[in-house]
Amino acid sequence: MIRARIEQDLDRLSAVLDAMRIPSSRLRGKDPKEWLQEYDAELSWVFDMAPVPVTPTKNVVGHIQVYRPAGESPFSHLAEYANEPADKLLAVGKHFVRPNTYEYGIGRYLLKESVEYIQSQGKIPTLELNGNGFLPQAFYEKFGFEEVPSGDPGETSMIYTK
pLDDT digits (tens, 9 = 90+) for 50-73: 876 666 677 899 999 999 876 556
Percentage of the chain modeled with pLDDT above 70: 87
Q: DSSP alpha helices (H): ranges in 30-126? A: 32-36, 76-82, 103-120
Please check the confidence at residue 91 and state whether its pLDDT lies above 70.
Answer: yes
Q: How far is CA 47 from CA 12, 66, 77, in A?
A: 11, 15, 31
Other C-beta atoms closer than 10 Å to the C-beta of 92 total 25
**Which residue has better confidence, 57 or 37?**
37
The 3 state secondary structure assigned to 14-45 is HHHHHHCCCCHHHHCCCCHHHHHCCCCCCEEE
Res 26: pLDDT:
73
Burial of 64 (0-12, 13-18, 19+ CB in 10 A): buried
Task: Judge contact between 103 and 68, C-beta under 8 A.
Answer: no
Using one digit for the tens of pLDDT, what is the confidence trace for 108-147?
Answer: 999 999 999 999 999 999 998 766 667 888 999 999 999 9
Q: Report the alpha-carbon angle 157-158-162, nearest 5.
A: 170
Rounded CA Rg of the chain: 15
Q: How far is CA 27 from CA 44, 54, 59, 69, in A?
A: 17, 30, 23, 17
**Side-chain half-sphere exposure of 32, counting CA atoms within 13 A:** 18
Query: Model-level pTM?
Result: 0.88
Task: Tell which residue, 148, 30, 29, has the closest CA to residue 91.
Answer: 148
Res 100: pLDDT:
81
Going along the chain from its start, the domains and CATH numbers come out as 2-160 (3.40.630.30)
Res 71: pLDDT:
59
